[in-house]
Structures are given as C-alpha cells and as structure tokens.
Structure 1
C-alpha cells in the first residue's frame, strides 16, 4: 500500500507549521509541504520533511502537483497553515473540493477574506459589529471618518496579521495613514480599498472554534497605539458566566451567518458598552501561540484534532484539565541589528515555563512595521491559577535581555 500523506500548503515561521508536521507524524501520516519558498521554513530540514517548490497562488499548478504526488502517495487530506492567512485556506478549500477530500466550502472561506463583505453578512444576520464604511481614496476616507466620528480604525479590506491597521485619533493621523496606505508604502494583496471602522473600545477577547463548538476564549492585550501589536494573551479569559454565554452566543451567530460550521474558526471581539462586538472572523485556526495556549489551558490539541478532521477521522474535543496559560511577546523598541540575546535558557528553566521561542536569528535586521511582524519571540507559561501564571511569566521575561545596534543615521 502507498504511504498516507498529508499535504500542507505553505508553512509557518512562528511555530505552528512544526506543530502540524509533528502531529501528522504522530498520526502515521507523511507530511508534504507545498510552498513558493520552502527555504524560509527552517523546521522542514530539522523534521526531514519533503518540501516541493510550487506557486501556491496558482491553483492549476497545485492541482498538477497533487495529481503527480497521487502516483506515489495515498493523499489522505490537504490543509494550510494559519499564519499565511485566509487566502491560503481559500485555495486549500478549492483543492479539497477538486480531489473529493474533506474540507471547508470554498465560497464560505472566500466571502470572509474581504472584511467589508464579511461585515455586510454579519450585519444582515444581526451580529453586532462596529460601524464601518468602504473607501477607495482619501476623499472617501475623510468623508467616512466624519460620518462615523473620530477616532476610527483604518485597515485594508483584504489582509491579515494587523498589517496596515492603525488607530487614527485625529485628522492628522487619518491623513497620514491614508497616504501610507494609498501612497505606495503598503503592499496590497488586491486593488486598494480601505475599511474605515468605528473604534470599538473595551477589553479584547478571542474565541477559538472547531466545527460549531467554542473550545476556548482568550483575553489579549496590545502594545501602545496607534498600532495593534499583541503584547500578551491569556487562556481562559476571566469572564463572568453571563459574559461567557454572550460571547459564545455571538460566536455561534457568526458561524451561521458566514456558513463556517466545518473546521476551525477564530473570532476576535471587543467587550463594549453594548456587550460583545465582533471585530473580525478568521475562517482558520489561529496561528502561534493560540493552539499551544489552548492545549495547556484545556488539554485540547487543536492542531491534531484539525488534522483528524481533514483526513476524515473522528476528532475528540473534550477538555481534559483546567489551568491558566499565558504568553508574553518579545517586541523590540527600535529598528536595528539584533546582536545579542541573553537569559533565554534561564527563562526556559523557570518552573511553569512551557516554551521560550525566538522567531529571528542573531544579526537579523529588525524594522518595526506596527503589526505582528514586530514580534521577535515569545514566552509561554502555565499553572493552576491566573496569579501564579502571571508571576511565572514575569519572572521568565525579566531574565531575558537583548541588544540592538541602531542603523547608522544619514547626516543631511
């Protein structure tokens, strides 16, 4: 019999890709990665994984490559990694449909990729979302902001990882970021269209869903505005029973509105004066380190269970224990060259620390972009209580130091 293989579209530099590869191996599957640039994923060599270079934006090329692989392997399933974003999942869905494999509905995934379209569908279903307008130029941005009222959020209508997302608190910030988005400094995935959105003020939460079941609700904190760079995440969020029930109810309403009751979904919310307001619905598993945090907090391995669904096996989403798991992201305060990291081993040896991970290497050039790419690493800790986990995390983070050599300035 030919070996059973799991096709993984693209990968992840931040850790989730390696989790998928390791989980596939544990399930007796041969992981095969299709990527436009396999060399960017260091773990492929470490795990001795077959990687094939192919244009992952070209559906026909992918179909040809998977067809070729079927001569050697029993292709059990196809999926994509969380970090590249929704576009990868839309392609995955089309591949699964073409080869008759379990997978999400391509139309359901594609309608979520456009944030404006997504909001229209949510509003039609009565799901609470921030006020929003679509704009194609500076005049339309200014008009939309005037209608909604400052402060507003400006974001690309299609994108992920908080790329191009800014809080604009006054007319000057609004004009500056509009120029940045439309003036060539931002790389657009599609034709330039901007979502102008009410700033929903309140604590930030995220609901992680598999199928039609909310597996965990986490609380997140961001660094200083106007950017939305994650600083810390904690699972489970400290919620009242009423808050928990409302977030679950709104999350399930999102699934029905967007026809997303197959596989993983990640829903971002703010708790405002009018209760939970949906910021964004991502039709995919959240990237690192959400799966690790949920595993530590609840004993549910979302990566493994996702793979089981993808290959047609029965999954098991039962919680096995209850702890508090938190992550602190390591974020530099300046641009430059990372020339020293100290204390990582000491941090990893703090009792209760589950992982210390770096996304970059020494001598790497660092350029702050105001999105998730600013993070250079993370520390994860878990314990029976929130207070204890917080103390463990702080002790570990305090032991880590690094130095960055600023880029030389050019004298006028």
Structure 2
C-alpha cells in the first residue's frame, strides 16, 4: 500500500490538513508524533491510518526502525514529509536515504537556522543589517556598543511562529531582551537585526527542478505591540505591477543563493522605500489557515501540490479563479480559563464568510498573544474587492466572544 509518513503535526492548521489531504489522495497516512496527548486523542485523528509515538522525532535510528516495520507490513513508502519546524530538512534527509524524490536538503537546513541564512545571504541587497551576539560575550559591553543602532529586533535563531522575537527600543529593553534570550537559550547565539518599518508581505513559493513558482503574495497586518503577531491576511496583496516584478527578482535571487532546486518555502518581506527586504524565510508553506486562504483566492490546494512535489510529481499551480480573500485572526487581551465561546454560527451566516474556526476547548488556558500560537480563532471571507472581503471578515469576527475566568 502506497504510504506517506509525516514527522510531527500540530492539532490544527497546515500540518494537520496535510494528513487529511494525504488520505484523500489515496495514501496510507502515518503520523509520527512526540505529543502524548495525540496518542490519547487518536480516535479524533480519523484521517490518520496509523499513529506512532516517538519521544525524539530526530532519532534517526528509531525513524528507520519504524519505516522498516512499515515496509515489512507491505507498506510502500512514497514520501517522508514534515510541515513542522525543525523537522523539515530532517524528513528530507530520511527521504534521501530511502532513495525517494530528492529535496534540496542543505537549502532546507539553511532556512531552519536564522543566523545561517542571514550569513549566507548577507551580500544580497534584500538582506537587512544584522549582527550576532554570542552568550560568552558581555551583554553590558554589547549593549554599550550597539545602543546607537536602536530600535532593534532580537531573535532566537530557532524561533518560529513569532516566538522569541522581540522589538527593543531603549537601552534597558536591549539589555533585558538579551538577558532573557541568553538565559532561555544559553548555548545558542542571538540574532540582532535592524528594525525595518514598512508593509509586510508573505510570499508562498514552490521550486521544482530549479523552476521557481510564486504561488501567492499576501499582505499581512501586524497587531500593535512588540511581538509581531499577524492578525490579518489580505489576498492578493494590492501591489503595483512594477513592484511585483521587483519582488519576483528579489525572491529568485534568494532562492538561487540558497541553491534550492526542489522544495517549498515561505518568505516574509517588507517594502522599505520601494526596496524589498527579507524579514524571514522558512522551509515549508506557512501554517494556520494559509491553505484555505490561497484555495479560496485561486482554487489552488497548495498542500496537495506540495505533497505532489515531495512525491516527485509536477505540481499544478494554475489558478482556476481569482477572488479577494481576507482572514481575520482573533486574540484575547488577558489570561484566563476558557468558560465558553459564542458567536461562531452567527459569524458563519454572514454572506461571503467561507470559514470560521475556533481553536481552544472549554477549560483551556488562554493568554494575550506572545506568538502566533496564541491566536484562538479566525474568520475567512471572500468578495469581489479587497475592501469588501475585509469588511465582511471584520464584522463577522465581532460576533465571536471568549468568556474567560481569571487564572
């Protein structure tokens, strides 16, 4: 039986949706997970044919042992995939060892570690100014040397989903931020970047045999604060043709410099005084509701086309429709235990609303947003114009209310 093995998954979003699509495509779907609660909730994963608990998903010997058992059970392994950091390049290396379709493992690994890709791309005009702080150095001395560069962005090189990404604007914030990250990641250097003010865009890319395809360009709206939480996505981004052409050139220069011949990635870039600057790059498609946003706007099921790529097939990326889509993500302003959520049905009944999703269950502890994982619901709407799509999503989202017990 033709089989796809997935290394890791979240409870919802792109990685979970990939499991369902794999099964819909006719593959025997195996999930390797390090989350014990998933094993307890296995019956809820109806799209998964087999789930296996693996304490360390980077344990190569264990992964190969499981794959060997699957093959002895007459399962033909067609692909080993991960949509989860930091397992993307690891899964690609497993695939390579098995003689499956070869992804660009080195390029994927570069994208998983932020200091490495910054160093690798530093000669490109899209790269912002940056420096690296090593824990063995004096924080006080570093702050005194770099305070004139404020405001700055501090990042853990292994962060994802806006976790451990800090905006620091003062001498004391820089010192406190470095101290916080240094204690949290004592053996990992800290990436410090210039703070760039401008509209931010997300770019979804698939590369097959060196052919670079920009699937979607989406404008992002960032929640006010110092954690860069994205609460709005507008597809397609309203950008002049000349600016889009410059974006195409910038993206191609990044992909070529990384030597990505086969793989997917999403980039976050800002337009600064007419020039594109690279904020982030990750070796997978974006998580959350990204697949639904793109599918509503273009008809392209990007997860399905990504799976086809990993299977060695040619992805089909021609849009079958062109619609404006807006996704509004919801957060809460204080910490508490969830009593109930109301308004989902009302929100779904608005004309133009395509999906309403509420993530947490009753009894869950909710908090104000520190990462993208602290977004607790979303509303996706489509319309003939970007203004209409946004208006529908915003009005419908106001129907959703979280009732919290202080915790």
1:43 positional shift: 7.7
State whether residues 155 and 166 of structure 1, in contact with CA within 8 Å, keep that contact through their aligned partners in structure 2. yes
* Cα distance between partner residues in 2 of 1:43 and 1:225: 38
Equivalent residue, structure 1, for 2:118: 119
Equivalent residue, structure 2, for 1:172: 172
* Cα distance between partner residues in 1 of 2:37 and 2:72: 25
1:376 positional shift: 1.1
State whether residues 141 and 196 of structure 1, in contact with CA within 8 Å, keep that contact through their aligned partners in structure 2. no
* Cα distance between partner residues in 2 of 1:52 and 1:259: 34
Does residue 23 (structure 1) correspond to residue 24 (structure 2)? The answer is: no
1:201 positional shift: 0.9
1:120 positional shift: 1.6
Q: Aligned with 1:107: secondary structure?
A: helix
1:44 positional shift: 6.2
* Cα distance between partner residues in 2 of 1:318 and 1:236: 15
Equivalent residue, structure 2, for 1:163: 163
Map 1:50-199 → 2, pairs under 5 A:
50-54=50-54, 55-72=56-73, 73-81=75-83, 84-85=84-85, 87-124=86-123, 126-137=124-135, 138-139=139-140, 141-143=142-144, 145-146=146-147, 149-183=149-183, 186=184, 188=185, 191-199=187-195
1:140 positional shift: 5.8
Q: Which runs of 5+ in 2 are unaligned?
A: none
Map 1:169-248 → 2, pairs under 5 A:
169-183=169-183, 186=184, 188=185, 191-211=187-207, 212-248=212-248
State whether residues 135 and 144 of structure 1, in contact with CA within 8 Å, keep that contact through their aligned partners in structure 2. no
1:315 positional shift: 2.0
TM-score by length of 1: 0.92
State whether residues 221 and 231 of structure 1, in contact with CA within 8 Å, keep that contact through their aligned partners in structure 2. yes
State whether residues 20 and 47 of structure 2, in contact with CA within 8 Å, keep that contact through their aligned partners in structure 1. no
1:79-119 Cα deviation digits (max 9, x unpaired): 112xx32x210211110111011142222222222212201
Q: Aligned with 1:70: secondary structure?
A: helix
Equivalent residue, structure 2, for 1:339: 339
1:143 positional shift: 4.8
* Cα distance between partner residues in 2 of 1:17 and 1:159: 18
1:274 positional shift: 5.0
Equivalent residue, structure 1, for 2:33: 35
1:296 positional shift: 0.9
Does residue 266 (structure 1) correspond to residue 248 (structure 2)? The answer is: no
Q: 1:58 to 1:127 in 2, by over 3 A?
A: farther
1:236-262 Cα deviation digits (max 9, x unpaired): 111001111111111111110111231
1:369 positional shift: 5.4
* Cα distance between partner residues in 2 of 1:278 and 1:140: 28
* Cα distance between partner residues in 1 of 2:43 and 2:249: 40
* Cα distance between partner residues in 1 of 2:198 and 2:319: 29
Q: Aligned with 2:404: secondary structure?
A: strand
* Cα distance between partner residues in 2 of 1:132 and 1:140: 17
Give the paired residue count.
396
1:289-308 Cα deviation digits (max 9, x unpaired): 11211111111111111111
* Cα distance between partner residues in 2 of 1:324 and 1:263: 27
* Cα distance between partner residues in 2 of 1:144 and 1:195: 15
* Cα distance between partner residues in 1 of 2:349 and 2:21: 25
Equivalent residue, structure 2, for 1:402: 402
Q: Which runs of 5+ in 1 are unaligned?
A: 408-412
Q: 1:255 to 1:92 in 2, by over 3 A?
A: same
1:139-182 Cα deviation digits (max 9, x unpaired): 364156336x1100011122211111011011122122222212
Q: 1:313 to 1:128 in 2, by over 3 A?
A: closer
State whether residues 161 and 371 of structure 1, in contact with CA within 8 Å, keep that contact through their aligned partners in structure 2. yes
Q: 1:371 to 1:241 in 2, by over 3 A?
A: same
Q: 1:401 to 1:123 in 2, by over 3 A?
A: same
Q: 1:78 to 1:142 in 2, by over 3 A?
A: same
1:205-242 Cα deviation digits (max 9, x unpaired): 11100111101100001111211111111111110011
1:344 positional shift: 0.7
TM-score by length of 2: 0.93
1:48 positional shift: 4.8
Q: 1:66 to 1:350 in 2, by over 3 A?
A: same
State whether residues 260 and 283 of structure 1, in contact with CA within 8 Å, keep that contact through their aligned partners in structure 2. no
State whether residues 198 and 272 of structure 2, in contact with CA within 8 Å, keep that contact through their aligned partners in structure 1. yes
* Cα distance between partner residues in 1 of 2:42 and 2:351: 26
Residue range with higher mean Cα deviation, 32-41 or 219-228: 32-41
Map 1:250-261 → 2, pairs under 5 A:
250-261=250-261
Q: Aligned with 2:122: secondary structure?
A: helix
Map 1:345-364 → 2, pairs under 5 A:
345-364=345-364
